[in-house]
Amino acid sequence: MDRWYRLDHAGKLFPAIADANNTSTYRISVMLTELIQEEQLQLAVDIVIKRFPTMAVKIDRGAYWEYFSENNERLLIGPEQNYPCFQINPDDNNGHMIRVLYYKKKISVEAFHALADGTGIIEFVKTLIYQYLLLIGKAIDDEGIILLPEGIPNSTETEDSFQKYYHPGKAIRGQQVKAYHIPGDMIIPNGNNVIHGILSAKALNDIAKQNGVTITAYLVTVLAYAIYMQTLRYTPDKANIVVCVPVDLRNLFPSRTLRNFFAVENIIIQVSSEDTFNDILLNVSTQMKEKTTKEYLDSEILANMKYEKTFALRLVPRFIKNMFIRYGYNFFGESKTTTTLSNLGRIVLPKDMAAFIENINAVLYPTDSCPINCTVCTVGDCLTITFSRKIIQGHIIEEFFRVLTNQCNLEVAVYSNEWGM
């Protein structure tokens, strides 16, 4: 009998909101030191996909919710031909909700967000690269930190951790404000321009430590400062720059799930002409400390899931639920956010494997309301900051890297896919 999976709590959002303007598809890319061998990559995918049952699925529509069912059709790789994170069509590639692409020395995995969050997909990517390197004749030791292709998935990897750690209680919602939205002209034809900045992780961490903050807090501050300097500096009214920061709940709850298990925290920043960079940094760091405690995030899980737990709502037909989800997302999600900065943290690789990898980066899909988003990935001392945008204007991104190079004295190598430019 074929396996099937209920969508996890976070995953239920994405089928309701996904369209060409909000693809809900993100990318993890690995830049290797040698040109990709197509046949060996396809063979690696054939082997590895069986190890990840919650990713070898197709989406089906039930009366009350969408669900994932086992997909035994082949997941076909392909050359990269389109812009990053374009919409995944369930009718393409044998119904899979994940795609594997290659271009010169780069392997990219793109996934529909309902499948998993960045942490889950990174585990798939690590196993895929490990298997690919073996197939092309590289001698590498997994060092016990790779989910081996021949391994047997366990229940902790496939669990819905939102359900596991939910408990009834009184939910306390964080502050909600109207967010400033970045203006700009949409790229035509529709697509995502991607800009990567590569720098020393140690150098950035040293600066963050000198200021008594985390790397994430420091980069959120640089981003908010860049938005203010380029779009709000000469406006008379204070606007709310709201930076959405996804938080991996596995850091606070003992979960090993490969599905979604994250919360999003909105860091609200008002900047005036009297505020210095350090003033903004203190504000951001204080908020992040408050909003990433276990108690705060536990309350967030409760607040987000209380409607799902209401018995009467379980009986509401799927298409009506999706209408309300779309409305809620547009009114309470997109309208309350200026941009997103997602730090996937340090990706730990076996030393043998790391020798064949130049860098890893992630691309988060932009939307009409949040036309510029940012991700951060670190491997060894290589930290990659990636901006994705769907507007022509790039002055905020230029200002961001200008601050890092001039104010922070960091060396940053910047390159772009030049889509739409």
Asked if residue 24 and residue 95 are part of one domain, the reply reads yes
Task: Judge whether residue 329 has pLDDT over 70.
Answer: no
Q: Is residue 170 part of a domain?
A: no
Q: Is residue 256 part of a domain?
A: yes
Rounded Cα–Cα distance for residues 378 and 196 (Å):
13
Q: Is residue 17 part of a domain?
A: yes
User: Is the pLDDT higher at 45 or at 1?
Assistant: 45
Tell me what pLDDT residue 325 has: 67
Give the single-character DSSP code of 146: S
Tell me what pLDDT residue 356 has: 97
Q: Is residue 250 part of a domain?
A: yes
Question: Considering 119, 148, 177, which residue would you say is the last residue of a domain?
Answer: 148
Mean pLDDT lowest for which of 16-25, 118-127, 170-179, 190-199?
170-179
Q: Is residue 171 part of a domain?
A: no
Mean pLDDT of 290-304: 89
Tell me what pLDDT residue 9 has: 84
- Range of the structural domain that residue 15 is part of: 4-148
Buried b (16+ CB within 10 A) or exposed e, 48-57: bbebbbbbbb
Asked if residue 223 and residue 126 are part of one domain, the reply reads no
**330 — pLDDT class (breaks 50, 70, 90):** low
Tell me what pLDDT residue 90 has: 85
Mean pLDDT of 100-117: 97
Tell me what pLDDT residue 188 has: 85
Pairing, β 262-270 against β 240-248 = antiparallel
Asked if residue 142 and residue 197 are part of one domain, the reply reads no
Q: Is residue 336 part of a domain?
A: yes
Tell me what pLDDT residue 227 has: 97
**230 — pLDDT class (breaks 50, 70, 90):** very high
Asked if residue 238 and residue 127 are part of one domain, the reply reads no
Residue 129's contacts (CB-CB under 8 Å, 6 or more residues apart) are: 30, 32, 107, 353, 357
Tell me what pLDDT residue 15 has: 85
Residue 270's contacts (CB-CB under 8 Å, 6 or more residues apart) are: 238, 239, 240, 241
Q: How many Cβ atoms are within 10 Å of 10's Cβ, its own excluded? A: 22
* Digit-coded pLDDT (tens) for 148-179: 999 999 999 999 999 999 887 776 666 778 89
Asked if residue 139 and residue 83 are part of one domain, the reply reads yes
Mean pLDDT across the chain: 91
Rounded Cα–Cα distance for residues 220 and 240 (Å):
14
> Which DSSP string corresponds to 162-194?
HHHH---S---PPP--PPP----PBPSSS--EE
CATH of the domain at 113: 3.30.559.10
Percent of the chain scoring above 90 in pLDDT: 73
The total number of structural domains in the chain stands at 2
Asked if residue 109 and residue 218 are part of one domain, the reply reads no
SS3 state at 405: helix
Asked if residue 263 and residue 335 are part of one domain, the reply reads yes
Task: Judge whether residue 312 has pLDDT over 60.
Answer: no
Asked if residue 211 and residue 107 are part of one domain, the reply reads no
Asked if residue 204 and residue 120 are part of one domain, the reply reads no
**39 — pLDDT class (breaks 50, 70, 90):** very high
Tell me what pLDDT residue 222 has: 98
What's the order of all strands across the beta sheet hosting 339-346?
A: 262-270, 240-248, 339-346, 372-379, 382-389, 193-200, 413-416
Asked if residue 304 and residue 226 are part of one domain, the reply reads yes
* Digit-coded pLDDT (tens) for 373-400: 999 999 999 999 999 999 999 999 999 9
Tell me what pLDDT residue 331 has: 62
CA-to-CA separations, 241 to 232, 284, 355, 387, in angstroms, rounded: 10, 11, 40, 17
Tell me what pLDDT residue 130 has: 98
**420 — pLDDT class (breaks 50, 70, 90):** low
Rounded Cα–Cα distance for residues 105 and 102 (Å):
7
SS3 state at 123: helix
* Digit-coded pLDDT (tens) for 45-101: 999 999 999 999 999 887 667 889 999 999 999 999 999 999 998 889 999 999 999
Q: Are 329 and 116 in contact (CB under 8 A)?
A: no
For the record, the structure tokens of 293 come out as: 């405690």
Question: Considering 116, 148, 180, which residue would you say is the last residue of a domain?
Answer: 148
- Identity of the amino acid at 157: E
3-state percent helix, strand, coil for the chain, nearest multiple of 5: 35, 25, 40
* Digit-coded pLDDT (tens) for 331-356: 666 678 999 999 999 999 999 999 99
Angle at 365 between CA 207 and CA 176, to 5 degrees: 75
Q: Could you identify the residue written with the tokens 């190890």?
A: 51
Tell me what pLDDT residue 145 has: 96
Q: Is residue 162 part of a domain?
A: no
Q: Are 86 and 194 in contact (CB under 8 A)?
A: no
Q: Is residue 42 part of a domain?
A: yes
**122 — pLDDT class (breaks 50, 70, 90):** very high
Pairing, β 357-363 against β 98-103 = unpaired
Asked if residue 226 and residue 86 are part of one domain, the reply reads no
Tell me what pLDDT residue 387 has: 98
Task: Judge whether residue 219 has pLDDT over 70.
Answer: yes
Tell me what pLDDT residue 53 has: 96
CATH of the domain at 230: 3.30.559.30
What's the order of all strands across the beta sheet hosting 66-70?
A: 4-6, 66-70, 57-61
Task: Judge whether residue 328 has pLDDT over 70.
Answer: no
Tell me what pLDDT residue 141 has: 96
Give the single-character DSSP code of 56: S
Taking alpha carbons only, the member of 262, 208, 242, 229 closest to residue 335 is: 242
Asked if residue 96 and residue 245 are part of one domain, the reply reads no
Task: Judge whether residue 14 has pLDDT over 60.
Answer: yes
